Structure 1
Amino acid sequence: MRIKHSLLNIGAGLGNQLIITLLSFVSRTVFITYLGVEYLGLNGLFTSILAMLSLAEAGIGASIMYSLYKPVAEDDKNKMNALMRLYRNAYLIIAGVVLVLGLSLLPFLSFIVSDTSIDHVHIIYLIFLLNTVAPYLYMHKNSFLNVCQKGYIVTGIYSVSSILTTTLKIAILYYTQNFILYLLIESSITIITSIVLALVVNKMYPFLKDKPATDLDPETKKGIFKNVKAIVLQNIGAYLVLGTDNIIISSFIGLAAVGIYSNYKMLIDISRTFINQIFNNIYHSVGNLVANESKEKIYSIYKVYRLINFWIYSTFTIAIYIMLEPFITLWIGSDFIMDKSVLLLLMLLFYEKGIRNAITTVKTTSGIFHPDRYAPLIQAAINLTLSITFVQFWGIAGVFLGTLISSLVVPFWTTPYLVYKKVFKLNILKYYFVYGLYILIGVVAYFITRYSTSTILADSYFSLFLKGLLCIIIPSLIYTVIFCKSDEFKYIFSISKRVFYKFRTIKVSHTTNRL
């Protein structure tokens, strides 16, 4: 059942992401053409600032979601209801806190956004603030569907919403070039979508509208509040590591530089989002697994997850590193290309964070939040110190070099140590041996792929597509040869065969019924 739900969620997510990606490219092209790189920079800057304000939510959602896995697995409706009531009330408070914090920044906008020709900056900021606050009113409903492994419903509703929003925004930019109207459309549809999703959840799970028969037990409350404190510290640290790049670039280099970087970020984020459609849905299956299975079973599934994680992230890293600059040149021109060292650092960050995805999933779904609560703050202090120092010597590359060093100094060590000690109860050296082996295999795959595709000039979209296809196929063939005898590969292959035969059976049955 876990596999079935995961596959449904993954299929829905990938289909949705493909459509949204195509529309995003059209939208970004129209955005750059009619508004320019400065508006692009402002968009990225305000997104980063409001991500900082969203730290008011840090910890609450993740902790309550973790607490929901067991009652959902046991179909304990009263406890689910009590937790959801707590979840809803917490998010109402969060929405109010974010709104107040956001409004308190208004007097300081002129210091953050300097030397710009953009009009009505304060109005634009207020609309961004509305877009941030509104989803909190219904976010607990989304989370419940995800915990129940019904994320494909959320994906379906958001797919329709995203397609409608993006299409309308493209039309507004094309016909009016009005950035404020562009943002208002997004706000309106976001609010409507949240309301529709809440109504769907209420219809599917009517018991959530009832008053819980009993309050949460003291032990559950204590666990939630303990985890909240830990996750708050972790999320604050995570933001200071990953969310301050645009602010540092804007402050030390300029808003236009943020705009140019935002194209790289958009393409990398699209790739990460595609991958996350797979792993976010597996995440909730792992949560269900942790709540019900032995440590041996969890470890065996983790190894499968680890191989899939390496396979996908290393393949995407190779493909993006080879393809990103030719794509941007063909898409919007060579004026939007940054120094090669920036791309190298961005891809190292992409791979390093991505390759930890499997171990991080086991950590969070096992409820390990408290022991390393200060680690992200230590990482953040290292990151900010190094990034602000390095940006003055090496520009944008210096910002990302500081981020990479801070990642290697802290979470690279702490996350696997805690999981292997508390969940698997195994020697941590096993983790680093496999990690090192995967890096070696990935580097070899990169050089073979680079050499094999070097003769293809990406001077048209067809040749670019061909080169990109080879960048996916070649590493996959190499990994198939290397891993085909492993238990993890055999497990993945057996699941793939089951899915294929099931799909074929459904297709044949459907065809027979039609005849």
Structure 2
Amino acid sequence: MESRTRNSVKNILYAVTGQFFGLLSSFILRIVFVHMLSRNYLGIDSLFTSIVSALSLTELGIGSAINYSLYKPLAENDVEQIKALMKLYKKAYILIGIVVFIIGMLLVPTLPFFVHSKNIQHLDLIFILFIINSSISYFYSYKKSLIIADQYRHITVVYTYVSFVIMSIVQGVLLVVTKNYVVYLLIMIFFTFIQNFLISKKADKMYPYLLEKDAKNLDSKTLKLIAKNTYAMSLHKIGGTVVTSTDNIVISKFSGIVEVGKYSNYQMVINALNIVFGQIFNSVIASIGNLGTESNRKLKNNFEKIFFLSFWLISFVSCCLYMVFNPFIKLWVGKFFVLKESVLIAIVLNFYIYQMRRPVLTYRDALGIYWYDRFLPLIEAVINVGFSIILAKHLGILGTLLGTIISMTCLNLWIEPLILYKYGLHSNVFEYYRVFIKYTVTAIISVVIIRVTSIFVLWNISNVLLQIIINIILCVLLYNMLFVVFYHKDAAFDYALGLLEKIAHGIIKGRS
């Protein structure tokens, strides 16, 4: 059996490579989109994506709960238990897909409340197509989770991104030919079905016993554990979905659909990065969960190393975003779509805080300790939506983003690690708080130094592409130089370098 580290590195390499090509095709498709369709359609695309994402609440975290239950039988090669779990998974996801479609159809009459523009044809049909795309994704996707839980996420990544790139090409060509948004959405539905169908067939080949019809029912003890974890995860799911999916809805209501379109360009980049980071952290969840079935002795030490490496990557990417985001948007889709620097700072800060929570949440998910902070997401959602609406009335997009920042800062940044350290790592959490503050302060100092240097270097340079290139060079050289100065004596620094060497070796050799 391949080692946990090797599987994790392979999963990360495939995820980052796949997302690179996915992001590249998305950028090109967005250029075609804004030239072939009106600005209103860009806002509609983002708004309906957010509404449909909110409908994923019907999943209620059952997928995560079952995934956690899969780690032990996979480690022990308990085929009968795996078959029983997948039987439950299939029934649950088919039901969820049907419920998503029904709820989505019930929402059609409410669309005028969110969309005030009368310049969009076939608005109801467009929303229905979004609903269909979301609902059909549940009918085959449950088998993907088995592959991922078995530490072979890289296999699903290949199917996902090859399908996405081909879809983007087809959508771009048909947009140029037809200039029809409905055709664009029909292609999306087709590829959603094909992608999940092919991954399902791959799972059948990897695990032939999935085709057997004699799967037993789960025992009452396992069902109670899944029910308990599902209840806890459902609360996390509700809070998390409200926080991540309401921004575009609030912006549309108080600032208009065109502003949603502007923000969506930034959001597209952020979402792509979130997917990359999500793939990276999800790539190690199965390995952590597998480790947890054997021993907890190394968990805290491993967490501290992963947290350090995560901070290095997250803070560096955040610095790059701040330095190049606005000139990149200007070069990519035009000056009209550039947002104020205050909004940019809020976007980057939101990204940094959210990603810095990832290591804690990754370990929480891997260890299955959803229960102890189950009500936290609901409180976060109330604070987020409340502040977002109040501030959006006066500050527009900036107010919406500040609402999210306030909710995460007041609650998540200190309660989530408290739960992990108490119930998962069985250690004192104050060391985590101290390290988090130290990391954040040094990141801010580094960004300020780079920003001042950039102003000095670029004071007489007006070429946007040259500005982007110089800022990237400054980030790569200065930020990492400062990072080494700050942390070269840190115990986790050697681990980070060692892991980077493994990744580089895997790239050079074409394997890991």
The TM-score bracket by the shorter chain reads over 0.9
**Aligned partners of 2:141, 2:506: CA distance in 1, in Å?**
34
Match of 1:36 in 2: 38
How many Å apart are 1:343 and its aligned residue?
1.2
Structure 2 match to 1:260: 262
What is the CA-CA distance between 1:496 and the residue it aligns to? 3.9
Q: Secondary structure at the match of 1:292?
A: coil
In the TM superposition, residue 501 of structure 1 has moved relative to its aligned partner by 5.7
Q: Distance in 1 between matches of 2:259 and 2:194?
A: 35
Match of 2:180 among 175, 178, 181: 178
1:448 CA drift (Å): 2.3
> How far does residue 344 in structure 1 lie from its aligned partner after superposition?
1.2
Deviation per residue, 1:70-106 (Å, 9 max, x gap): 1111211111111111111100110111011011112
Matched, 1:438 2:442: no
Tell me which residue corresponds to 2:151. 149
Query: Are the structure 2 counterparts of residues 224 and 212 from structure 1 closer, same or farther at C-alpha, using a change threshold of 3 Å?
Result: farther
Q: Residue 498 of structure 2 corresponds to which residue in structure 1?
A: 494
Identity %: 35
Q: Using the alignment, how far apart are the partners of 1:371 and 1:52 within structure 2?
A: 24
Q: How far apart are 1:178 and its partner, in Å?
A: 0.6
For these two proteins, the number of residue pairs brought into alignment is 506
1:468 equivalent in structure 2: 472
Question: Match of 2:128?
Answer: 126
Partner of 1:482: 486
Structure-2 residue corresponding to 1:274: 276
Alignment partner of 1:319 is 2:320: yes
CA distance in 1, matches of 2:232, 2:502: 41
Gap change, CA 1:134 and 1:420, over 3 Å in 2: same
Q: Residue 198 in 1 paired to residue 200 in 2?
A: yes
Question: How far did 1:288 drift?
Answer: 1.8
- The amino acid across from 1:426 in the alignment is S
Scaled by the length of structure 1, the TM-score of the pair is 0.94
The structural deviation recorded for 1:135 is 1.0
Letter in 1 for 2:166: L
Kept in 2, the 8 Å contact 1:453–1:471? The answer is no
Equivalent position amino acid for 2:102 in 1: V
Structure 1: segments with no counterpart, 5+ residues: 510-515
Deviation at 1:503, TM superposition (A): 6.7
Tell me by how many angstroms 1:498 deviates. 4.9
Cα displacement string for residues 264-310 of structure 1 (whole angstroms, at most 9, x for unaligned residues): 1112222222333322212222222222222x301111011101110
User: Partner amino acid for 2:145?
Assistant: S
Q: CA deviation at 1:133?
A: 0.7
Q: How does 1:388-467 map to 2 (within 5 A)?
A: 388-454=389-455, 455-456=457-458, 457=461, 459-467=463-471
Tell me the alpha carbon deviations over residues 394-418 of structure 1, each in whole angstroms, 9 at most, x when there is no partner: 1111111111111112212221111
The runs of 5 or more residues in structure 2 that have no matched partner are none
Partner of residue 234, structure 2 = 232
SS of residue matched to 2:298: helix
- Report the 3-state secondary structure (helix = DSSP H, G, I; strand = E; otherwise coil) of the residue aligned with 2:19: helix
**How far is 1:169 from its partner?**
0.6
CA RMSD, aligned part only? 1.8
Q: Aligned to 1:392, what secondary structure does the other structure show?
A: helix
Mapped contact 1:316–1:472 kept (Cα < 8 A): no
CA distance in 2, matches of 1:500, 1:399: 40
Match for residue 111 of structure 2?
109
Mapped pair 1:306 → 2:310: no
SS of the residue 1:138 aligns to: helix
What pairs up with 1:348-427 in 2 under 5 angstroms?
348-427=349-428
CA distance in 1, matches of 2:506, 2:472: 31
Which residue of 1 is the match for residue 246 of structure 2? 244
CA distance in 2, matches of 1:502, 1:384: 44
Give the deviation of 1:368 after TM superposition.
Answer: 1.1
CA contact (8 A) 2:316 2:475 kept: yes
Secondary structure at the residue paired with 1:338? Answer: coil
In the TM superposition, residue 460 of structure 1 has moved relative to its aligned partner by 4.1
The alpha-carbon deviation at position 497 of structure 1 amounts to: 4.0
Change (3 A) 1:221 1:163: same
Deviation sequence 1:23-42 (CA, Å, 0-9, x none): 11111011111112210000
Q: Would the aligned equivalents of 1:78 and 1:212 in 2 still touch at CA under 8 Å?
A: no
For residue 427 of structure 1, give the secondary structure of its aligned residue in structure 2.
coil
CA contact 2:327–2:464 (8 Å) conserved in 1: no
Q: For 2:386, give the aligned amino acid.
A: T
